Structure 1
Amino acid sequence: MPLPDEPLERLGFLTIGSFDEADPAAGHETTLRMIERGEELGFDSAWLRHRHLQFGISSPVAVLAAATQRTSRIELGTAVTPLGWENPLRLAEDLATVDVLSGGRLNPGISVGPPMSYDDVKGSLYPDTADAEDFGTGRLTRLLDLIGGARASEFAGVRGIEEFSDRVQPHSPGLRGRTWYGTASIGSAARAGELGTNLLTSSVVRSEGRTDFAEIQALHIEAFRAAHSTGRVSQGLVVVPTDSATPAQRRKYEEYAAARLPRTREPQGPAGMMFARDIVGTSAEIAEQLYAHAGFRLVGEVVFALPFRFAPEDYEQILTDMATHLGPALGWKPRTGD
């Protein structure tokens, strides 16, 4: 619980890995370099979002596999993988493989529910089973069980000249304890605790009759901890420090936040979603706002989201300020090696 006299334990960042449709390789390379730079700066973790059928990383697990070969210490996560797009057995194999490649640094973040714009994609995603697919907690339970070593096949042994296992291979024993559940409601936060995962709080939550975002986020954390007192909790907000920013960069960041501010004032859409405000300012100003934030006061680690579609030099400035100004203002110390 970070207070001015209690240091923040872990600092991470999150990106969607934007790219130009005409030159996607350049954008993916920028993301990989960003992860490398995060390790150099001492960040504890780097996380990738999924952006299916958009101009952001659609396959974070593949990109993180590449990142494992370009880093040695920083933890690597997905925040989050929408499980409705995935086959749990195949995803379990991919996650275990990347975890082995990373030396046990993978932190898979998962969410449940139907894929976004499901009516538009179900014909391609599940052409024969679209109306029969289970997008609820059962799908997540299957993944967690498979990652943990549960039986995946009725057969184990030798057939002909080939040997088969009845569980996912490779098996990575510590991976199940590093799974995270991204939640948007009090009920799903409690469910994360009951499942024994860690909790990724979101910058977008269901209002459930409330309009104070910080209060809602704090209620999620309390519901999770009531069910899983020892589980890890990470707070997610968009935070943009400006300590070393140029005047032009500061204007850009402030205009970005201002354009997104209206959606934070009241619940949005049929589901009544509440959006967190972007926090832009000097590290001292940001630290003051975080210490007053009910959600932040309940966590020991954060994963700050980077704004969308900024230039590489903007991300370099933001990450550098996070590690050298904002982190220390919150009592955090960079990791330099293990």
Structure 2
Amino acid sequence: MPTSSTPLQKLGFLTIGTFDGDDPGPGMEALLAEIELGEQLGLDSAWLRHRHLQHGVSSPVAVMAAASQRTSRIELGTAVTPLAWENPLRLAEDLATVDVLSGGRVNPGVSVGQPMHWDDVRAALYPDTADAEDFGYERVLRLVRHLRGDPASSFSGVRGIEVFSDRVQPHSPGLHERVWYGASSLASARWAGEQGLNLLTSSVVKADGPGSFAELQRAHVETFRAHHPLGDAARVSQGLVVIPTDTATPAQREKYAAYAASRLPRTASPQGPARLLFAPDVVGTSEQIAEQLYAHPAFQLVTEVAFALPFSFEHDDYVQILTDMATRLGPALGWQPG
């Protein structure tokens, strides 16, 4: 069994919450059941990946609100919300509301950049202001300022019988310190560190230097911490696709192996104009996975993970994976359930 001098402190999972476009209810109910299961298993966090105009979670904040009323301990996050689709002031109100409802368990993960399929959605998303919108880092800073409680209005006081605040209401102290940035490049990792944010790393990086996926991801973590006020204490969460098979049926193991094999070719070299480099999916027994992770240059620097669930599996598969993750893989990494 592999060993490490630094046990894993936080173990969570990431999902997109797929559903049938003609009957979305059962898929959404299954997603909430999986979050409940994560809490029952002692997992530390459940993260939702944004999927606009797809058969996945388009409104993580709404799902987190529902999950907050069916759980009491597990942290709830977004990984990530593309801020190009959001008004930071309105998003701050929603996030603060759910944070209060959940008892301070929300972890907003965000990213910037032009919306995907911009030419196809710009007329619906920003019919009058598309050319004036700023999709850069300032959008993140606006969100942080609103969550922190900086003035959002030049007026506060009483008008008639109504009382107005100059900051986002409800105000949830500490929420702004739980903002995570989803960085895929060395430059964005450095910027996130300079701003004092937390860092989300995923199974995709931009090949902006030499080396393997793992080596590039490690460089991102090192750069982030080198420019963060907290240095090596700055929080980083790693998100790889990890599929433990300890209690899987033979049919499940075959499906998991085929899934990983079908995605392996894209990991051989950078893909597309953005030169995106994908990490291989990690499939095997918990002991085998732990051995691979302890040898992973980026994993060696983190004490928090949010392993991504495969996108196209069934609810029973997710139950098996989450159960093995919490009862087999977590302990193999030195983790203890919450």
TM-score (norm 2): 0.98
Task: Say whether 1:236 aligns with 2:235.
Answer: no
**Residue matched to 1:163:** 163
CA offsets, 1:212-266, max 9 Å, x none? 0000100110011011113210011000000000000000000000000000000
1:220 alignment partner, SS class: helix
The Cα of 1:4 is off from its aligned counterpart by 2.1
Alignment partner of 1:298 is 2:295: no
> Which of 269, 272, 289 is equivalent to 1:269?
272
Task: Look up the match of 1:192.
Answer: 192
Q: Aligned with 1:271: secondary structure?
A: coil
Q: For residues 293-324 of structure 1, what are the alpha-carbon distances to aligned partners after superposition, in whole Å with 9 as ceiling and x for unaligned? A: 00100000100000012111000000000000
Summarize the alignment of residues 136-175 of structure 1 with structure 2, pairs less than 5 Å apart.
136-175=136-175
How far apart are residue 211 of structure 1 and its match?
4.4
CA distance in 2, matches of 1:144, 1:219: 26
User: How far did residue 3 of structure 1 move?
Assistant: 5.6
Aligned-partner Cα distance in 2 for 1:109–1:159: 36
Aligned counterparts of 1:140 and 1:116: Cα–Cα separation in 2: 18
Aligned position for 1:256: 259
Other-structure match for 2:250: 247
Amino acid at match of 2:16: I
Larger displacement relative to structure 2 (50-59 or 206-215): 206-215
Q: Which residue of 1 aligns with 2:7?
A: 7
Residues 290 and 296 in structure 1, CA contact (< 8 A), matched pair in contact too = yes
Q: Which residues in structure 2 correspond to 1:1-338 (within 5 Å)?
A: 4-228=4-228, 229=231, 230-335=233-338
Question: Contact 1:211 / 1:274 at 8 angstroms: preserved in 2?
Answer: no
Structure 2 spans left out of the alignment, 5+ residues: none
Distance between the aligned counterparts of 1:34 and 1:210, measured in 2? 39
Distance 1:231 1:67 in 2: 28
Q: TM-score, normalised by structure 1?
A: 0.98
| Structure-2 separation of matches of 1:146 and 1:6 | 36
Within 1, Cα distance between the matches of 2:242 and 2:68?
A: 26
Distance 2:210 2:53 in 1: 33
Distance 1:82 1:3 in 2: 37
* SS of structure 1 residue aligned to 2:142: helix
Tell me: CA distance 1:17–1:50, structure 2 relative to 1, closer, same or farther (3 Å). Answer: same
Separation in structure 1 between the aligned mates of residue 239 and residue 258 of structure 2, nearest angstrom:
21
Q: Which amino acid letter does the alignment assign opposite residue 265 of structure 2?
A: P
Q: Is the 8 A contact 2:44 2:75 kept in 1?
A: yes
Q: Give the residue type in structure 2 aligned to 1:231.
A: A
8 Å contact from structure 2 (residues 6, 303) kept in 1: no
* Per-residue Cα deviation, 1:167-211 (whole angstroms, up to 9, x for no partner): 000000110111100000011001111111100012111001324
CA distance, structure 1, for counterparts of residue 197 and residue 8 of structure 2: 21
SS class of match (1:65): helix
Q: Which runs of 4+ in 1 moved over 3 A?
A: none
Separation in structure 1 between the aligned mates of residue 284 and residue 176 of structure 2, nearest angstrom: 38
Structure 1 residue matching 2:108: 3-state secondary structure: strand
State the superposition RMSD in angstroms.
Answer: 0.9
* Conservation of the 8 A alpha-carbon contact between 2:218 and 2:297: yes
| Alignment check: 8 A CA contact 2:202 2:240 kept | yes
| Counterpart-to-counterpart distance in 1, 2:50 and 2:121 | 16
Cα distance in 2 for residues equivalent to 1:6 and 1:198: 20
